[in-house]
Structure 1
């Protein structure tokens, strides 16, 4: 049983709404020397911003359009916002604050200000609409929002619809009520609150690949733990690295990739509000980016374009969000010489927990548990399975799942002290973990277990296929059949002849029983705001068509 450190929170909502401790996963808080050294009083803003600004004050932390923000400038901006929060807006430690902006430095300054005053950040995607925002404000009982002026329309509707949200303050705005105007007369110094290492500092809502979003509650020590596991032991950045990437800062993949990991190393990040593959390659070329974070889809698209750009500065690429197909890994490696780091992570665990890098990479395998984490494969009854057997992936480490007021999902995700990620994996004799499917993406057809992603990887080898997703479609005879939703490079090629050509291609590449008995051509795959394919939406579509 975890013994809590006395909380700095005046508003006790965060601790009051944690799951009961008997529903927590086992927390491995002492597996690494860095983790064992954590003080019981810890504020991640002090560690990542205050201390780093003392060391790297005049060095760049963010490149944004034509601006360069230094560590000192970020610190002073966050301090002034912290004064606004406390002096003008009455924010108390433990209050939740909604954050809403594209990837820009003011968003990061607001996030750190919320950390510094001991409040709890609830970050939201720019493309969310008022219904999603209202759901979050009600679930987390949020009273205040800090919002980019360009996103005010949905915010104003949320203010009208939400019972809890009382006020929104806008930045990148004009007028006496704007955040910039309020900051103008505030001191550049603010004493960061002495929070407990196990005070909740953020509530991250999941991206909705499996239905309604769930709020994941994380501590100050959790934010530091992902820096001292994946970043320190796998990514290994230095102060001279320049990061960039497409994941939104509102999701924990983006928070780590573009804020906490680079700042932990004293490095800098190029923040771009709207990325596409061409813009990403152009940015790498112009800003001499060394570390890139994005999704498999972007790497696949950039592979065809990379010859037109000078990306010789790039040293490392990290892929996450969904599994990285072997053809995409190989294509990128052939085009650039860079071995992509394929990471498996989750909002519940905050960031990546299984991966491999350098000579340890086996193309097609996700990798091994990173330092500080343990993994295992269990069958449906919760018993460990031998190597080479497909089963349910489970994880435990210094960070774990604690859902906000969601006992049903908590007891599904956490069982016998393990976090069950919802992925079907096998672990080989060498300890490498090989992705098979989301547990609910495993297609059972006429008694055969068929991995949807395996079929996808083959379809992606065909020159006509741009993107695809494979799900189970109901079938009276077989229970389910394999159905592929395919985005063609040339939409004009959609025809029965192409369907047959793709089916024959799959039959020729893998066991014939795995071929897609149904293929539907679509213009685009449905995705979450973080870029993940919404397979639950495709399963629903397949069910309606049956």
Structure 2
């Protein structure tokens, strides 16, 4: 590790261009549009950009490898030809069960330019999760590697539509070998001319309540993502009009490319702008994250709050240990909180732009410290092109300070259709209808996340609707308490849930993951309780604290409070017997 020269990299105070950005912004969505065309083919077909790096592939104990847009193009064309030979047709679902690696980008580009539908599946999924998605989607083919092949093959007999499995760097009996398959195909391919409204990606939601639902994403959704992407990355390096040195922009995120945050917020928009993205095929750690950022000169990143908290605790002053060139940083999935916000600004040298979205309607709310002032801890405001509000159960906009459901209107501020919206839930029209409030052509799409709006229009996250609870008659949102706990040096992470109580209905309980080297005991519990009491309302401090090695997480890095809440309910029932 190298010591960085001390210097102030904090950006100057941002002008407030928010109102003018919204007023002047107009969507331009062509009738024909394909994600692979704008993310790969146009760069590969231009001699000036064909040799530029598209993917920097890294893995533990392996040398780094750079792959150009021309190489991505050639390999994607070969795979697309192979898929056609195997009978994959336009609109068919193709499962991509791969970690971050060059072949994953190849698979997405091949499926998209073929006019088929890419279905990302996390390498962390067990057999039950894989079987449900493969069967429900009626996927006809899956692409795997050594980390996922066995799990897919173990459930293939229960997925009658699944005809073929392609394996990258893995021997798997009946599986088709990636290298041999591509070697048999030519590098030329005539892409499908898809409509902007045509299905491109099928991503299943996390399924925290009931079975996961498949959200069908159209090609045009990438266009809808772009304002959020460039704003969350502070515009530097991703401004097509006046970026000073665009070739120096390098993106990396530990977000799984099988998740909306990794695919739609990292891989695809980075390729859209013709920049290189680092694909790290390995486990996340704070040390690894900083080493990747330093080694590859990463200028832009998406780091979810759990990752930022781990990095903050491991390296409170990271620029004493690493050379950092970060210019833009985004976070999403949970509330960042002001502790992490200030560490990013002071420790990393770049303010974090908190972003909010979900699988069905991604990148709709956030900050851009270059273009409008940020309020530490807030979600920000609706990005240009998106009409966002906090609404009540009747679909009316809530007054300032009144909690409600974050919702996005189908039409922008000019009355034009917003391209960000998903097409609907796969084979679930009832759930699709339930997502909207109002007339189909003039309606709000509810997110299920609660927030309050302040007098300046900034949104403040209150939690998922099913995470908010009442204790002794008070309405409790877990995020504020968790943020307060993380400010204590002994706390690496925390989750707050209701514990059933006969007298008060529920009391506030905190599950706490300790920082390395700290031990949990009665004295620390009292110290943490006093820490919260001195900063929040008296009714918000955790009446009970339980130390835990790790919080239950979704594959997308979100804390599964529901798991802890159900655990508390089960314990209460057992104690009452």
Q: State the TM-score, normalizing by the size of structure 1.
A: 0.90
Residue 82 of structure 1, aligned match among 80, 83, 88: 80
Q: Does 1:398 align with 2:419?
A: yes
- State the 1:539 CA deviation: 0.9
Within 5 Å, give how 1:350-361 maps onto structure 2.
350-358=362-370, 360-361=373-374
- State the 1:477 CA deviation: 1.3
* CA distance in structure 1 between the aligned counterparts of 2:120 and 2:105, rounded to whole angstroms: 11
* CA distance in structure 2 between the aligned counterparts of 1:419 and 1:309, rounded to whole angstroms: 45
Residue 415 of structure 1, aligned match among 437, 440, 448: 437
- Runs of 4+ more than 4 Å apart: 30-34
- State the 1:337 CA deviation: 2.3
Residue 54 of structure 2, aligned match among 61, 67, 91: 61
Residue 283 of structure 1, aligned match among 292, 296, 301: 292
> Do the aligned residues in 1 keep the contact of 2:138 with 2:159 (CA within 8 Å)?
no
Residue 129 of structure 2, aligned match among 127, 132, 135: 132
> Do the aligned residues in 2 keep the contact of 1:373 with 1:398 (CA within 8 Å)?
no
* CA distance in structure 1 between the aligned counterparts of 2:518 and 2:294, rounded to whole angstroms: 34
> Do the aligned residues in 1 keep the contact of 2:108 with 2:118 (CA within 8 Å)?
yes
Paired residue secondary structure (2:294): helix
1:535 and 1:265, CA in 2 relative to 1: closer, same or farther beyond 3 A?
A: same
**What residue number does 1:431 align with?**
457
- State the 1:31 CA deviation: 9.2
Paired residue secondary structure (1:493): coil
**What residue number does 2:224 align with?**
225
Q: State the TM-score, normalizing by the size of structure 2.
A: 0.85
**What residue number does 2:108 align with?**
111
Unaligned 5+ segments in structure 1 are 1-29
Within 5 Å, give how 1:258-297 maps onto structure 2.
258-274=266-282, 275-297=284-306
* CA distance in structure 1 between the aligned counterparts of 2:145 and 2:95, rounded to whole angstroms: 11
**What residue number does 2:536 align with?**
510
* CA distance in structure 2 between the aligned counterparts of 1:209 and 1:378, rounded to whole angstroms: 23
* CA distance in structure 2 between the aligned counterparts of 1:77 and 1:124, rounded to whole angstroms: 21
Q: Does 1:335 align with 2:343?
A: no
* CA distance in structure 2 between the aligned counterparts of 1:491 and 1:314, rounded to whole angstroms: 30
* CA distance in structure 2 between the aligned counterparts of 1:299 and 1:211, rounded to whole angstroms: 30
Paired residue secondary structure (1:360): coil
Aligned-residue Cα RMSD (Å) equals: 2.0
1:400 and 1:464, CA in 2 relative to 1: closer, same or farther beyond 3 A?
A: same
Q: Does 1:542 align with 2:564?
A: no
> Do the aligned residues in 2 keep the contact of 1:31 with 1:372 (CA within 8 Å)?
no
> Do the aligned residues in 2 keep the contact of 1:344 with 1:355 (CA within 8 Å)?
no
Q: Which moved more, 1:218-227 or 1:197-206?
A: 218-227
**What residue number does 2:385 align with?**
372
- State the 1:513 CA deviation: 1.1
* CA distance in structure 1 between the aligned counterparts of 2:307 and 2:539, rounded to whole angstroms: 31
Q: Which moved more, 1:489-498 or 1:520-529?
A: 489-498
**What residue number does 1:468 align with?**
494
- State the 1:33 CA deviation: 6.2
* CA distance in structure 1 between the aligned counterparts of 2:427 and 2:471, rounded to whole angstroms: 37
* CA distance in structure 1 between the aligned counterparts of 2:545 and 2:171, rounded to whole angstroms: 52
Residue 51 of structure 1, aligned match among 38, 42, 66: 42
Number of paired residues? 514
1:380 and 1:472, CA in 2 relative to 1: closer, same or farther beyond 3 A?
A: farther
- State the 1:321 CA deviation: 1.7
> Do the aligned residues in 2 keep the contact of 1:245 with 1:257 (CA within 8 Å)?
no
Paired residue secondary structure (1:459): helix
1:191 and 1:399, CA in 2 relative to 1: closer, same or farther beyond 3 A?
A: same
Larger proportion of helix: 1
Paired residue secondary structure (1:441): coil
> Do the aligned residues in 1 keep the contact of 2:35 with 2:219 (CA within 8 Å)?
yes
Paired residue secondary structure (1:530): coil
**What residue number does 2:322 align with?**
310
**What residue number does 1:41 align with?**
32
* CA distance in structure 2 between the aligned counterparts of 1:107 and 1:321, rounded to whole angstroms: 23
Post-superposition Cα deviations, 1:320-356, rounded to whole Å, max 9, x if no partner, equal 1211111111122221221001111111113454333
Residue 336 of structure 2, aligned match among 324, 340, 344: 324
> Do the aligned residues in 1 keep the contact of 2:364 with 2:388 (CA within 8 Å)?
no
- State the 1:409 CA deviation: 3.0
> Do the aligned residues in 2 keep the contact of 1:282 with 1:309 (CA within 8 Å)?
no
**What residue number does 1:184 align with?**
183
1:189 and 1:32, CA in 2 relative to 1: closer, same or farther beyond 3 A?
A: farther
* CA distance in structure 2 between the aligned counterparts of 1:188 and 1:47, rounded to whole angstroms: 19
* CA distance in structure 1 between the aligned counterparts of 2:536 and 2:68, rounded to whole angstroms: 53
> Do the aligned residues in 1 keep the contact of 2:365 with 2:379 (CA within 8 Å)?
no
* CA distance in structure 1 between the aligned counterparts of 2:171 and 2:469, rounded to whole angstroms: 54
Residue 399 of structure 2, aligned match among 368, 386, 390: 386
* CA distance in structure 1 between the aligned counterparts of 2:550 and 2:541, rounded to whole angstroms: 21
> Do the aligned residues in 1 keep the contact of 2:165 with 2:176 (CA within 8 Å)?
no
1:352 and 1:293, CA in 2 relative to 1: closer, same or farther beyond 3 A?
A: farther
> Do the aligned residues in 2 keep the contact of 1:315 with 1:338 (CA within 8 Å)?
yes
Unaligned 5+ segments in structure 2 are 1-21, 59-63, 239-245, 410-417, 573-577
Paired residue secondary structure (2:335): coil
* CA distance in structure 2 between the aligned counterparts of 1:413 and 1:485, rounded to whole angstroms: 32
**What residue number does 1:245 align with?**
253
* CA distance in structure 2 between the aligned counterparts of 1:226 and 1:363, rounded to whole angstroms: 23
> Do the aligned residues in 1 keep the contact of 2:89 with 2:116 (CA within 8 Å)?
yes
1:52 and 1:34, CA in 2 relative to 1: closer, same or farther beyond 3 A?
A: farther
> Do the aligned residues in 2 keep the contact of 1:76 with 1:189 (CA within 8 Å)?
yes
* CA distance in structure 2 between the aligned counterparts of 1:43 and 1:277, rounded to whole angstroms: 36
